[in-house]
Amino acid sequence: MPVNSFDNYPMSWKPDKKALKRPFYYSIASLLEQDIIEGFLAPGTKLPPQRELADFLDLNFTTITRAYKLCEFKGLIYAVTGRGTFVAPNAARSITISTDKSTNNIDLGFVASFEQTNNIVAENIKTVSDKSYLDQLLNYNDPTGIPHQKKAGLNWMESFGINADTEHVAIVSGAQNALAITLTALFKPGNRIAIDLHTYSNFIELAKLLHIQLVPIPGDQFGMLPDELEKQCSQTKIHGIFLMPSCSNPTTVMISDFRKHELAAIIRKYRLILIEDDIHAFLTAGIISDYHQPMFNLLPDQTVYICGTSKCICSGLRVAFMVYGDAFRESILQAIFKINVKTSSLDAEIITELILSGKAHEIVSQKKQLAQAANDIYSEYFPIGNPMGHPFSFYRWLSIQEHIDPLQLETDLRKKGIRIFHSDRFLSGPTIPNKYLRVSLSSTNSLDELKIGLETLKNYLDSL
């Protein structure tokens, strides 16, 4: 194609040729990053094909490839085999979700843990403080957990179907910490992890921080689609997969038993590392008829199983159990030492005492009752159709009109006294026409406050 024949040719991105400096690939990547951050390239924008951009800039194809790879490495763009390269959905902003007490808004955004049960935990702390070995809980010993604490954790996870030994379990500082340890231990910058199209936003941010590429896979009411996962694995090198089988955040989808077996076959075939975040297993095991076993049991040598206690017992103690196969043991232990040095034995002892005394099951029972009541209230304002996802979920996935601007919606509702999050915050791949809100049911100070928040939300949506 002749030089300068692109002057009037429509392209989604035309970097300023005069701004290019050597090395050109780095300069192109910097210009692309700047235009994304400043909002000139919207999320989901399809970028020019590499050869087309090379012709436009009078540079060789390899230079453009290196520039795109650098931006992909930073999480700014992503490539879909056979479709092209796109601006990442949340490349220009942080989507980390955390609690925010700076306002008096009703919180329908952050998913807390029905903190009304914390009085039971507070009473239990007094019991732990009277233990004869309290001073031994305050040192550097047993960095992955004291043996009796690990046994208590394994006892807790037996009800979910996990069978392991103390040599293959570690106690860490919450599920998010477990995810950071897993990614640091078992993945390298540039590795690819398959995930649901809508997924846990803090995992997206963590992968971005560690320069790990996420490969979005569509799903249905039973979970991630096996054929789509197979197609991506056959077309590009996928190193791992992240799943939340008991109650996927934010969609509330539960992966059915037959789908677990289908996905396990593909994971086994392509030797993927499975990160199984089963933080909501306590809501499911023994109650939901289609819950038979965690995926860890299908792929024990390829899985890191994460069981956090923040939702089921107490969010503030930040304790989670990691279970892993022998092949991962050394790498995970090294990562724990490097990142944590150790997890608080005092916090772990409080969780241990709650488990062994039976108080943990009492807490879970109360949380389930609160979750049921909150879901009943939600269904009064927004009737839940089928498939509805997890019936006791701490949050719901509410379909809304497609034309609503997500940032404007979140801003409008904050002005009305509500914090809530739009589905675009959870997107790991291309923007899709269907839009949702993740509505937290577990963070209000009372169920009466939840009613007020849901009524305000309904009135706002009805007015659009």
φ/ψ (deg, to 5) at 319: -125, 135
Domain membership flag for residue 98: no
**183 shares its domain with 318:** yes
Range of the domain at 141: 119-357
Q: Give the DSSP H/E element, type plus range, for residue 66.
A: helix 61-73
**68 shares its domain with 145:** no
What 3-state class would DSSP assign to 179? helix
Domain membership flag for residue 12: no
**339 shares its domain with 265:** yes
Amino acid in the structure at residue 337: F
- pLDDT tens per residue, the chain (464 residues)? 445 555 667 888 999 888 999 999 999 999 999 888 887 887 888 999 999 999 999 999 999 999 999 988 888 888 877 788 988 877 767 666 666 554 678 999 999 999 999 999 999 999 999 999 999 999 999 999 999 999 999 999 998 889 999 999 999 999 999 999 999 999 998 899 999 999 999 999 999 889 898 999 999 999 999 999 999 999 999 999 999 999 999 999 999 999 999 999 999 999 999 999 999 988 887 666 666 789 999 999 999 999 999 999 999 999 999 999 999 999 999 999 999 999 999 999 999 999 999 999 999 999 999 999 999 999 999 997 766 788 889 999 999 987 788 888 999 999 999 999 999 889 988 778 889 999 999 999 999 999 999 999 999 999 98
Domain membership flag for residue 3: no
Domains in the chain, number: 3
**281 shares its domain with 336:** yes
- C-alpha distances (whole Å) from 93 to each of 10, 213, 309, 327, 371 are 27, 17, 29, 37, 32
Q: Give the DSSP H/E element, type plus range, for residue 214.
A: strand 213-217
Rounded Cα distance between 425 and 93, Å, is: 10
**435 shares its domain with 331:** no
Q: How many CB atoms lie within 10 A of CB 111?
A: 23
Q: What angle do CA 156, 159, 165 make, to 5 degrees?
A: 60
Q: Is 189 exposed, middle or buried (0-12, 13-18, 19+ CB in 10 A)?
A: exposed
Q: Are 275 and 299 in contact (CB under 8 A)?
A: no
Domain membership flag for residue 215: yes
**352 shares its domain with 369:** no
**374 shares its domain with 454:** yes
Rounded Cα distance between 123 and 290, Å, is: 36
Predicted model pTM: 0.86
